[in-house]
Structure 1
């Protein structure tokens, strides 16, 4: 009985190994790689379409979840002193600024997806759910931040948001506590825009990852059907 159990276990392990190798071979094929790219490009399109619409941006929970803690702290302080309207204006201005980052972000993301290789596909298969987005995030986050932060900063200053926040927080120590103990409202000038850009980048990847997860069965079915 024990010998039979060992034999069955050995056969099971061998089967799993063969299946894994088979999936890896499929994923690294041109068909498998094309499917992965298609899913990622679909998520990118979905995310950038949301960024193009102020109302869609404001109503998206994945973008709201990406709000940096520092900006949450600032908003909480404003609300505590009765400046809820300013918080709402801030969110609206950030949503409006997001639309101006779409044409900057699109080529960066599309180029990264089109550059994916068979080795990348193999890593994605091994990584499981969300691995494709994680790889895309690793390769483009810094580039996206560098590209869109100046545009976001220009737009938020154009809208007068930074000046309004500085004025509202004048006399408080919230900025000093957030920005390393320095009690200077001028620190908000670049930092508010940086926080907004971080929210945009992380929110965009949240949308792409959600799209990837929603289509995980499509990926598996397409890969299995390519045998």
Structure 2
């Protein structure tokens, strides 16, 4: 009897999830996370202070920054971070439609997968469907801005002749020109998804209450 009841409850919750009401709630929460993330990207100080963005720093860029610090150039590392934060603001209106369109395209089948996948599943689907598109769209803007700010040339000069470049870039290039922009773009994309996922997790109770209290 208990098993049968549990099965019936689960089916009912999944039915609610795939209803227009459940799907609307899921979309609203994701859109809220997107807005929150892009608002942070729009403000240099907020970007620099956000730990979820800092956690998304690629290992390659960490290695470059550690090398610069060891060379006594910690001030250059700070400049690099500030310029990346400034460049992030120029990606906002490029990223927004890509993410919003993906959310608006979510289906009843997606909603069912999200409910079954638990907290963070909605962001995971969004990441799967947009991360490559986001990278392709924002990387040229990031590269243009970082070159405009002059930080690429400065880093290249500071690290010329250092083995860290050969190691990070696989020996194919002795310049950070292409590498730094890619790593910065990667940090932005992953940092944005970290913020969206955090927002989703903070609001998971709202989702579950709306879907009948499924845990």
TM-score range, shorter chain: over 0.9
Q: Which residue in the other structure is 1:115 paired with?
A: 105
Instruction: Report the TM-score when normalising by structure 1.
Output: 0.92
Shift of 1:189: 0.7
Shift of 1:207: 0.1
Structure 1 counterpart of 2:180, from 189, 192, 196: 192
Tell whether 2:205 aligns with 1:217: yes
Counterpart Cα distance in 2 of 1:198 and 1:171: 25
How many Å apart are 1:101 and its aligned residue? 0.2
What corresponds to 2:77 in structure 1?
87
Whether 1:134 aligns to 2:124 is yes
Query: Which residue does the alignment assign to 2:36?
Result: 46
How big is the alpha-carbon RMSD for the aligned residues of Structure 1 and Structure 2?
Answer: 1.0
Is the aligned partner of 1:100 residue 2:90?
Answer: yes
Q: What is the CA-CA distance between 1:185 and the residue it aligns to? A: 2.7
How big is the shift at 1:141?
A: 0.2
- Corresponding residue pairs, total: 213
Distance in 2, Cα, partners of 1:194 & 1:12: 54
Alignment of 1:66-85 (within 5 A): 66-85=56-75
**Structure 2 gaps, min length 5:** none
- Counterpart for residue 59 of structure 1: 49
Q: CA deviation at 1:180?
A: 1.2
In structure 1, stretches of 5+ residues that fail to align are 1-10
Cα distance, 1:218 vs. partner? 0.8
Report the Cα distance in structure 2 between the residues aligned to 1:63 and 1:27, rounded to whole angstroms.
31
Larger radius of gyration: 1
TM-score, length-scaled by structure 2: 0.97
Deviations 1:110-137 (A, max 9, x none): 0000000000000101100100000000
SS in 1 for 2:211: helix
- Offset at residue 223 of structure 1 (A): 2.2
Alpha-carbon separation, structure 2, partners of 1:128 and 1:71: 32
Q: 1:150 aligns with which of 140, 164, 177?
A: 140
Paired residues of 1:40 and 1:133 also in contact (CA < 8 A): yes
SS at match of 1:207: helix
